[in-house]
Chains A and B, each alone.
Chain A
Amino acid sequence: MSGFPILTVMLAVPAIAAVACLFLNAQGARWLALAATFVDLALGILLWANFQTGDGAAQWQFVEHVRLFGIGGAEFAWALGIDGFALLLIALSVFLMPICIGASWLSIEKRVPEYMAAFLATEVLMIGTFAAQDLMLFYVFFEGGLIPMFLIIGIWGGANRIYASYKFFLYTLLGSLLMLIAIIYMILTTGTTSIPVLMQHDFPAHVQTWLWLAFFASFAVKMPMWPVHTWLPDAHVQAPTAGSVILAGVLLKLGGYGFLRFSLPMFPEASAQFIWLVFLLSAVAVVYTSLVALVQSDMKKLIAYSSVAHMAIVTFGLFALNAQGIEGAMMVMLGHGVVSGALFLCVGVIYDRLHTREIDRYGGLAINMPRYAVLFLLFTMASVGLPGTSNFIGEFLSLAGLYQVSTLYALLGTTGIILGAAYMLYLYRRVAFGDLTKDDVKAMPDLDLREFAMLGALAAVTLWMGVYPESFMKPMRGDVEKLVARLERAAPAGDSAPTVGKPAPAAHHEAAPAAHGEAH
């Protein structure tokens, strides 16, 4: 692959296609968008296939560096390059994009060329965010990624779309500004914009604190963490199906990626210092948003709230600052990306038929839509974290990592598996089970080929990640090791601290177990 600027090409293909879409009619734009996203998917597979892992593999691969301009001693560059984390998130993005285009095939009828252009622009910006090695470049992609999303919600959204996009914007604005200030400070003090260099830079502890907080303001909103999560339910409810898929699937991962790329490696001491804050907010999120999800009557709101709870497991895992926690967090991000995307698609499928998201308007779909019911069940179970599906791996590892730091938070985090089962199964029951009594629901046809292909692909990946996660964990293993090594100096001691035991005294095994009585 040497010499071929594959990352730039992956950015250029959807970018050119986006512009071209604007000059086509609706049908042409659809096909072009689909073709472009498939090209990017193929390039993504190529990227993955050529990514080196194991000993001796470089941390940063497919590196491209073109100097753009210098200001005040700092060099700004078109610097791209990926490590394992970035690779996996790019793979997730390019995998979800053709599905998003497919999901919009019929349901979007107005301004189709512009819509497709917006989606392709989102793809460019997402890949750019994950591939950027230059701090300013990252910032542009990271914040820019929201613009097409505002448009998608604001133009093609539901009845209350303006309020939703306003809220989405307002939340992100504050965080973005603080992060920008922090970025400028970092550039000024270190004289570099290179992310890999900054990841090795040791900022003084008191500086780390402020920088960490500034970045946290941005990432916490993107995550979203409690209590800055209230934009998400509204954004999801108003967004068109594909908008929700990409929002839940990839955009929610920007926060986690930010923590992984910036907060943890650049500010290890501050990260350790603020563990209590992250854990506290995460614990509240797990319990609070799960309970809120339980009482929702709007399907999309329910899944949106469940996303907040799942993302709390990500922050739990990341800030456990150990290998299981961080790998688990990444696996939750990937798994949730696939599964919540699939769940929003499942909602979209029936929304397209009945044009309502009210759970109570459905019921008994297992009777007339059996194929849909099976796939929906699979994604429900994956969301619940059933072993054998993608989400289990992540949740299990994150919580295992968390337990090593705090048994109390591990207990609180694990309550998510009970509450998650309650709200998801309750949702599934009301939609798919029960008798088929409503006439308009009876008339709903089962999945067509297009829908089946999209959900089938997502189902296959869900099971693949659950049964053989090694495919996904291998590329990031080296990066996790490096990160954990960097965090080691700051990582907290856990509250378990088991003391060494000694062999049991020669057991006489007299009948009474009272013989063991001195266990304390």
Chain B
Amino acid sequence: MSPIYFIVFLPLIAAAVAGLSNKAFGSTFPKLVTTVSLFAACALSWPIFLQYLGGHAEPTISPVFTWMLSGSMQVDWALRVDSLTAVMLVVVTSVSFLVHLYSWGYMSEEPDQPRFFAYLSLFTFAMLMLVTANNLVQMFFGWEGVGLASYLLIGFWFRKPSANAAAIKAFVVNRVGDLGFMLGIFGTFLVFGTIDIPTILAAAPNMHGSTIGFLGARFDTMTVLCLLLFVGAMGKSAQLGLHTWLPDAMEGPTPVSALIHAATMVTAGVFMVCRMSPMFEQSAVALGVVTFVGAATCFFAATVGTTQTDIKRVIAYSTCSQLGYMFFAAGVGAYGAAMFHLFTHAFFKALLFLGAGSVIHAMHHEQDMRYYGGLWKKIPVTYWTMMFGTLAITGVGIPGIFGNTAFGFAGFHSKDAIIEASYAAGQTSAFWVGVFVALLTSFYSWRLVFLTFHGKPRWAGSEHIQHAVHDHHGHGHDDHAHGQEAAEDEGAGHTPTADEILHDHGHEGTAGYHPHESPIVMLIPLIVLTLGAIFAGFVFHGFFIEPSAGETYWHGAVAFNEHLMHAMHEVPVWVKLSATIAMLSGLAIAYGAYIVSPSFPAKFAEAFRPLYLFSLNKWYFDELYNFLFVRPAFAIGRLFWKQGDEATIDRFGPNGVAKVVQLGGGVTAKLQSGYVYAYAFIMLIGLTAALTWVIAR
């Protein structure tokens, strides 16, 4: 029996066992079951990946059973493994296992741990179903399954109104994307007569010049299908326009943010575009849109990330921005680079999130960086691991311009590959966006590090810290789960004078609080992920993006463009240096603004107040959507109900008839006492009898 069955179904079984286990068993048993299952799944996944890296493995399909059979549409439950799936298998199971482990520590004070672990494992199952899908409908199953798990985990602290709102928002916004995905599946079935992915991809190159009717006009067939599918990808991967749910998703526990909203689920859109890449290759328009949306998201999210003060939101916008990079890599045809960035990003972003969780844990659930500072001595392991995460995301490394082999942290290899590929593909504007965002990435990442770990402690201003100190617990722990904490804490990050507080000396000081380093069970995942953040890029870049090694590795699993990868190596030296220069500039600005001259950000924010507010308020997307969609939906619903159903249909329908009956027959009293239907029945029966008699005669 192929190990893939165990990889996929162990997490499902574990989730069921953990979810249904009796409370009387305590929480250790469900935690153990889920974590061990994930360890097993992870241990089984790596050999598969290594096999593909060795270049010997062919794609395999392990059937389960038939799901739907309707007319000419056949949908099977089956598990596909190829080199693309293999990448996702190791990413998903590794990060998931580490997050399970981390949660032993992070969630240790939580009364509801079995439920949490069950959700995590359920998520992993759904994600694995998504990446092993051999047809579009099973992919959609996984797609919605991860959406469900995401909904449940964002709303894990369901007593909190803000968590519930965020959970619903995540689900509903994703559904907007799903609308596109579903229409894309329908259209694909209509055109190709199948929803089987390999068959579709094999037929796609023969669709040149084909046109299709859509909403009354005719378009290029592949453009329509790809764009519909891409709308789905935009929702799941939080691309501009459908991104609004991702920052709010930070309401979930931090391990969830690391697993779902950074490393795995949100990359499903990128995975889908890569999986369907032979289709996207047929439509220059669709690829152009992917590039544009990716670049726009990349830029937008980075600009917002520079002003947020909630540590998790900074990383959330960072994720959004990095996903933008992946999309524009796919859009310029560098699918290998997109997957490579997905792969390295999973490690360093999970690391940054878990590190942030460790900081939050140490700071008694305080998430506002304005109340951090000077933490590096107190929580050194967290500090150093996050430092490596930052080196990885900002792309620190030595470019290979002197004939030497390029060497750097994970993000250096993957992000620079994207930037170079966009230049090599002739997408100059995307290239410049990529470079500029590299600067912003560096800036907001270092800003996070400097605000959190350096400078003087500013803990005294935090209500959480005050709370902890006055409760005499003093360990950064107390009996409160997050769930019970007041939602208004969340509001703290949204005051327009955000950066100014940093320099209000009244808030400085430790307030007598002593942050503690996280327990070892939380540090192990950090250390393992640090290894990934350091080496994932250097070790694996050959397989993902080198022209010949990549061709061997991908083996048709994505539309690997060997020529583009060649061209990437031949870009001018200044192009190769540009990302590094941008990175160094971002670092310099952050250093200047938050270490050398800490009063600068406030002055800058004051001088460019509209720009600052625009970024701080996330370009006002939430306000716009509330105005355009949410409020009108309720208003129109009420209008239809009161004016449509009650004042029109009922008034002229049944109530009108009742009035006529009352006037004509004088049966007011009877109507009110409820005999009207008896009368009417008699009428009906009489009529039937009369008609029967007429016919019979």
Contact = CB atoms under 8 A, between A and B. Distances in A.
Interface of A: 71-72, 143, 147, 150, 154, 162, 165-167, 169-171, 173, 176-177, 180-181, 184, 187-188, 227-228, 230-231, 233, 288, 291-296, 322-324, 327-328, 364, 366-367, 381, 386-388, 392-393, 396-397, 399-400, 403-404, 407-408, 410-411, 414-415, 417-419, 421-422, 425-426, 429, 432-436, 467-470, 473, 477, 480, 484, 494-505, 508-514, 516-517, 519-520
Given A169-B680, A513-B332, 6 more contacts: A291-B637, A323-B71, A417-B179, A421-B172, A470-B69, A499-B221
Given A418-B172, A434-B159, A516-B281, A469 B68 contact: yes
A121 B501 CA distance: 73
Contact of A509 (B185, B211, B564): B564
Interface string B46-69: 000000000000000000011111
A473 B284 contact: no
B511 interface: no
Nearest to A74: B695
Contact of A166 (B72, B287, B426, B677): B677
Q: Which 10 A-B pairs have the closest CB atoms?
A: A323-B71, A501-B210, A403-B186, A501-B207, A291-B637, A512-B426, A516-B284, A387-B141, A295-B637, A162-B674
A510 B563 CA distance: 6
Interface residues of B, number: 101
Nearest to B641: A292
Contact of A417 (B161, B178, B190): B178
Chain B interface mostly helix, strand, loop or mixed?
A: helix
Interface in B649-671: 649-650, 653-654, 657-658, 671
Given A184-B691, A410-B186, A291 B633 contact: yes
Interface string B281-323: 1111101100000000000000000000000000000000000
Nearest to B646: A230
Contacts of B333: 513
Given A288-B644, A425-B171, A154 B677 contact: yes
B137 interface: yes
B647 to A, nearest CB: 11
B179 A231 contact: no
B208 A294 contact: no
Contacts of B539: none
A149 to B, nearest CB: 11
A425 B634 contact: no
A519 B183 contact: no
User: B67, B216, B285, B677: which has the most chain A beta carbons within 10 Å?
Assistant: B677
Nearest to B657: A170
Contacts of B427: 513
Interface in B673-690: 673-674, 676-677, 680-681, 684, 687-688
B179 A519 contact: no
Given A166-B654, A291-B637, A502 B216 contact: no
Nearest to A395: B182
A435 B214 contact: no
7 contacts: A143-B684, A227-B649, A294-B637, A503-B205, A511-B563, A519-B282, A519-B284
Contacts of B285: 519-520
A6 to B, nearest CB: 28
Given A177-B684, A509-B564, A519-B220, A497 B212 contact: yes
A509 B671 contact: no
A167 B654 contact: yes
Contacts of B159: 364, 367, 433-436
Contacts of A399: 182, 186
A70 to B, nearest CB: 10
Contact of A496 (B176, B187, B672, B677): B187
Contacts of A497: 212-213
Given A184-B695, A288-B644, A501 B209 contact: yes
A417 B164 contact: no
B425 A511 contact: yes
Contacts of B207: 501
A512 B291 CA distance: 13
A318 to B, nearest CB: 14
B211 A498 contact: yes
B434 to A, nearest CB: 16
B696 interface: yes
A429 B191 contact: no
Contacts of B633: 291, 294, 419, 422
A216 B288 CA distance: 48
B208 A519 contact: yes
B583 interface: no
A138 B656 CA distance: 31
A417 B182 contact: yes
A394 B481 CA distance: 41
B158 A433 contact: yes
Contact of A393 (B68, B282, B654, B695): B68
Contacts of B681: 147, 169
B645 A292 contact: yes
Nearest to A293: B637
A313 to B, nearest CB: 12
A230 B205 contact: no
Given A187-B695, A411-B183, A496 B637 contact: no
Given A170-B654, A176-B684, A503-B206, A407 B561 contact: no
